[in-house]
Chains A and B, each alone.
Chain A
Amino acid sequence: MSIKLEHLNYVYSQGTAYEKKALKDICLEIPHGEFVGIIGHTGSGKSTLIQHLNGLIKATSGALYYNGENIYEEGYHMRELRNQVGLVFQYPEHQLFEIDVMTDVCFGPKNQGLSPEECKQRALEALQLVGLKEKYYQSSPFELSGGQKRRVAIAGVLAMRPKVLVLDEPTAGLDPKGRDDILDQIAYLHRQSDMTVILVSHSMEDIARYADRIIVMNKGTVMYNDAPKKVFEHYQELEKVGLAAPQVTYIMHDLAKRGMPAKTGVTTVEEAADEIMRVLEKKE
């Protein structure tokens, strides 16, 4: 069970004056159950890449294998793929449209052909998973706060019980608590089920905290594809392509430069605190 991209290319407006190569020779493998972070500057190809994962965009050339089957082969069941790979777009709350929260979350399963009872069951489950309080289930989605709306939108995708959950900047514009709540919830879901999670984000701190592996996109190519610690070691190269490392990584590098024998491969606050304590205690 995995997603595999082989020499995938995508060209926008091919053959016109606006032709633009958005993805160039992408080779990637995402094993089932992994939590993958995708980072890259605006326009690096992240969003184009993830739209390939459930067949919304068809590659200009190359292949995409889902569980070993090439999705571009004739007769491939695209509908089945879309049931299994759930995509949460940027600002997903703009896509809410139903009269109440419950009906909105039921929309996905309804389109999967499930009975009204099953839809409701799935919706209840999904709304509990995203942690929305029951008193809002009958409210109009438009009366909710930004963070709540976003949870409803994510629940709408979860209700389809995807095997792979792809989220494009799910925390943009949310306050710090809303951001942590949503990411903690996603991490919890990931631990509870065997779901693959693919998270696109501009927050290096968030990616460092949650992802097992980071894919760095730059100008339509994969620049790095490695564990967070390894990727953020290249912080100078990342800056050149519009990115950065988490603030604590910079602190560790500065300490090392000032002669403190601290390891620099640190990406979270806890690790930084442990490492600093280790160095200072050793000293005493």
Chain B
Amino acid sequence: MDMVQTEKLVYEYEKRDEEGNVIGMSRAIDEVDIDVKEGQFIAILGHNGSGKSTLAKHINAILVPTEGTMWVNGRNTSDPEELWNVRQSAGMVFQNPDNQIIGTVVEEDVGFGPENLGVPTDEIWQRVEDSLKAVGMIEYRHHSPNKLSGGQKQRVAIAGVVAMEPKCIVLDEPTAMLDPVGRKEVLKTVKKLREKKQVTVILITHYMEEVVDADKVYVMDHGRVVMEGTPREVFSRVDELKNYRLDVPQVTILAHELKKRGLQIPDGILRKEELVEVLCQLN
């Protein structure tokens, strides 16, 4: 089943001058067709200003298409009647953990979402407990979110979304502000959620290492999808990615470099284990 599907999605906004007069239109998304199946892990890459965050905001109807259609869990996001259903199907996690936490105690923050959905109190507590366990933060349930590290805050933010039991979670650069271990924590949490709850995950990131496990990668440029495929397919096209201001994981660069220097190394190496294996066989 399709979880997120778009058909020629266009998003335009008005450009205004200092007096607020409209001086033209700007197209942030230009006829995008994407198709995400239930339970998939999808990554979206693209440089700053390529339109990836604008696209993400369509998935839970923060923005609605100017032209074309977006369906989330079979519901048309342009239909005002479906707004709450769409938002219950897709939850979002943003870059800055400090902007997403509103509660003064961790469990209160996580309960905020389901409370707004009108979930009965007993069930709210159950969900809070389940989602804090799912992100590995249950021992912090009575703590103040202020005192947590960046990675921990981001896990609480994810728990807050999980407690709303969405079928799909969109993460917009969730690790950009974190240290390496915080980054690892968040990714591990996302992986666990996929395994335990079969949630569909759409991850937007600038860290190429984070997408090697994705089922599919979309690359955006100027509001259009310019590349799509498995991580191996996409990361084999190093030069093309560089043109789109992107990069490949460091291990892929090293493999590429060694190949240029004459070693027999296959294209599209993504994990350090693969490269180590190949090199040990050459040795």
Known: A146-B49, A269-B253. A174 touches B206 (CB 8 A): yes
Known: A147-B48, A277-B261. A176 touches B208 (CB 8 A): yes
Q: Are A260 and B283 in contact (CB under 8 A)?
A: yes
Choose from B149, B206, B283 the contact partner of A173 (Cβ within 8 Å).
B206
Known: A147-B48, A175-B46, A178-B47. A41 touches B250 (CB 8 A): no
Instruction: Determine the distance from Cα of A176 to Cα of B252 in the docked complex, in whole angstroms.
Output: 15
Tell me, yes or no, whether A43 is within 8 Å of chain B by CB.
yes
Q: Are B181 and A243 in contact (CB under 8 A)?
A: yes
Known: A177-B246, A255-B279, A280-B263. A42 touches B179 (CB 8 A): yes
Taking CB atoms, residues of chain B closer than 8 Å to A78 are none
* Surface stretch bound by A, among B76-84, B112-120, B135-143, B170-178: B170-178
Tell me, yes or no, whether A273 is within 8 Å of chain B by CB.
yes
| Chain B nearest CB, measured from A256 CB (Å) | 10
Known: A242-B179, A269-B253. A41 touches B149 (CB 8 A): yes
Tell me, yes or no, whether A239 is within 8 Å of chain B by CB.
yes
Known: A41-B182, A269-B254. A247 touches B276 (CB 8 A): no
Q: Are A175 and B48 in contact (CB under 8 A)?
A: yes
Taking CB atoms, residues of chain B closer than 8 Å to A239 are 181
Tell me, yes or no, whether B160 is within 8 Å of chain A by CB.
no
Taking CB atoms, residues of chain B closer than 8 Å to A147 are 48
Tell me, yes or no, whether B57 is within 8 Å of chain A by CB.
no
| Chain B nearest CB, measured from A201 CB (Å) | 10
Tell me, yes or no, whether B247 is within 8 Å of chain A by CB.
yes
Known: A260-B280, A280-B282. A175 touches B47 (CB 8 A): yes
Tell me, yes or no, whether A172 is within 8 Å of chain B by CB.
yes
Tell me, yes or no, whether A87 is within 8 Å of chain B by CB.
no
Instruction: Determine the distance from Cα of A273 to Cα of B257 in the docked complex, in whole angstroms.
Output: 7
Q: Residues of A at under 8 Å CB distance from B?
A: 40-43, 140, 145-147, 172-180, 202, 204-205, 239, 242-244, 246-248, 250-251, 254-255, 258-260, 269-270, 272-273, 276-277, 279-280, 283
Q: Are B181 and A244 in contact (CB under 8 A)?
A: yes
Tell me, yes or no, whether B245 is within 8 Å of chain A by CB.
yes
| Chain A nearest CB, measured from B237 CB (Å) | 15
Q: Are A202 and B180 in contact (CB under 8 A)?
A: yes
Tell me, yes or no, whether B188 is within 8 Å of chain A by CB.
no
Interface size class of B (residues with CB under 8 A): 35 or more
Q: Are A247 and B179 in contact (CB under 8 A)?
A: no
CB nearest to B15 among chain A residues? A143
Taking CB atoms, residues of chain A closer than 8 Å to B145 are none
Interface of A is mostly: helix
Q: Are A173 and B173 in contact (CB under 8 A)?
A: yes
Q: Which of B47, B48, B246, B272 gathers most chain A CB within 10 Å? A: B48
Choose from B47, B151, B257, B280 the contact partner of A255 (Cβ within 8 Å).
B280
Choose from B48, B180, B208, B254 the contact partner of A251 (Cβ within 8 Å).
B254
Interface residues as binary, B155-184 with A (CB distance below 8 Å gives 1, 0 otherwise) = 000000000000000000100111111100
Q: Are A178 and B48 in contact (CB under 8 A)?
A: yes
Taking CB atoms, residues of chain A closer than 8 Å to B234 are none
Instruction: Determine the distance from Cα of A95 to Cα of B261 in the docked complex, in whole angstroms.
Output: 46
The 6 A-B pairs at the shortest CB distance, nearest first, are namely A177-B245, A176-B247, A175-B47, A244-B180, A247-B250, A242-B181
Q: Are B246 and A277 in contact (CB under 8 A)?
A: no
Instruction: Determine the distance from Cα of A205 to Cα of B249 in the docked complex, in whole angstroms.
Output: 11
Known: A42-B182, A176-B208, A243-B179. A276 touches B279 (CB 8 A): yes
Q: Are B245 and A175 in contact (CB under 8 A)?
A: yes
Instruction: Determine the distance from Cα of A173 to Cα of B177 in the docked complex, in whole angstroms.
Output: 7
Q: Are B245 and A204 in contact (CB under 8 A)?
A: no
Interface residues as binary, B25-51 with A (CB distance below 8 Å gives 1, 0 otherwise) = 000000000000000000000111110
Q: Are B49 and A145 in contact (CB under 8 A)?
A: yes
